[in-house]
Amino acid sequence: MRRPNEIAKDEASMATLAELTSVFEGIASMRISQTKTQVLESTKFFDELWKIYTQLRVDSLFSFGRDEGQNNRVVIDKELFIIITAEGGFSGDIDQKTVEAMLLQYDAEKNDIIVIGHHGAMQLSQRGISFRKYYKLPSNDRNINVEPIIKEVQQYRRSTVFYQEYVSLMDQEPKHISLSMAVKSVGSGNERLDEVISEQNYIFEPTSFAVAAHLERSMMKIAMSQLILQSKLAQYASRFRAMSASHQRADEETADLHMLYNRAKRGVKDERLKEIINGMKKSKKAAV
């Protein structure tokens, strides 16, 4: 049987673990609330910009903002896969699910991969899948710089983003979307073409064409930022879920250890009592 002081040490360690998981749970919960607000603000911003864009030109002409002096650029005839994962391995199983979802569609001949987040890069390396580039997942939720990714996107015929969607606190799903579709879907429902913006009724500087191309690039950047934000939200929720489960297990384990400690302490007391009684019996016999 283990000694009570050994069990007490284990109980104290387990209680520290329970406190630690509780702190991580709290941090994840706070980050979820902040990121949710950020996603809402960003969507509102996009909606207003989208309204101007749809009045300026129809979305079927969406060309990834390549127009401005880039007509002669050779476009890579492949589909670019962009996968958004967590930076560390502390985000539950959602990264693994996203990587698996991407690999179901991956063909080395037809696809190039760009990874955002170190955890995804590690998972692909472990599976022996090579990727074109790796970017760190932005630690900041504001002013995400997606310029380098957009430059890569503009080189390809098509681009698909594999990301993580926050369904609820306890439910996150891997998803994928074509980037041009992402721009359209974020802007859907805001397509009130009540007024056409043209050179007939507007002054453009420098030119209407430059403004339209700039708007396309801007919306692509915002859509990409939103997908990153959504993935971060799902990762925080997944982390929250993992930490909640760990917290619960640590609490249960602490309770079990406490019971074990009480039993061991009782055992020691019983043992001592037995020794005293035996001692008393022996001394009584000796006296007789």
Which residues sit at the interface with other proteins, rule CB under 8 A? 38, 41-42, 45-46, 48-49, 52, 141-143, 145, 197, 201-206, 210-211, 214-215, 218, 221-222, 225
Which among 143, 147, 120, 142 has a CA at the least distance from the CA of 131? 120
Kindly tell me which of 202 and 274 has the beta carbon lying closer to other proteins.
Answer: 202
| Cα distances (angstroms) measured from residue 138 to each of 66, 69, 91 | 25, 30, 15
Min separation Cβ 134 and other proteins, Å: 23
Min separation Cβ 241 and other proteins, Å: 27
Min separation Cβ 46 and other proteins, Å: 7
Min separation Cβ 183 and other proteins, Å: 13
Separation of CA 235 from chain center: 3
Question: Cβ distance 242 to 91 under 8 Å?
Answer: yes
Separation of CA 257 from chain center: 35
Kindly tell me which of 23 and 30 has the beta carbon lying closer to other proteins.
Answer: 30
Which among 21, 13, 16, 17 has a CA at the least distance from the CA of 243? 21
Task: Report the 10 Å Cβ neighbour count for 216.
Answer: 24
Min separation Cβ 56 and other proteins, Å: 8
Mapping DSSP to helix (H, G, I), strand (E, B) and coil, where does residue 87 land?
Answer: coil
Kindly tell me which of 45 and 167 has the beta carbon lying closer to other proteins.
Answer: 45
Backbone angles phi, psi at 186, to 5 degrees: -65, -35
CA dihedral 210, 212, 217, 220 (to 10 degrees): 180
Kindly tell me which of 217 and 247 has the beta carbon lying closer to other proteins.
Answer: 217
Kindly tell me which of 28 and 224 has the beta carbon lying closer to other proteins.
Answer: 224
Kindly tell me which of 20 and 49 has the beta carbon lying closer to other proteins.
Answer: 49
Min separation Cβ 42 and other proteins, Å: 4
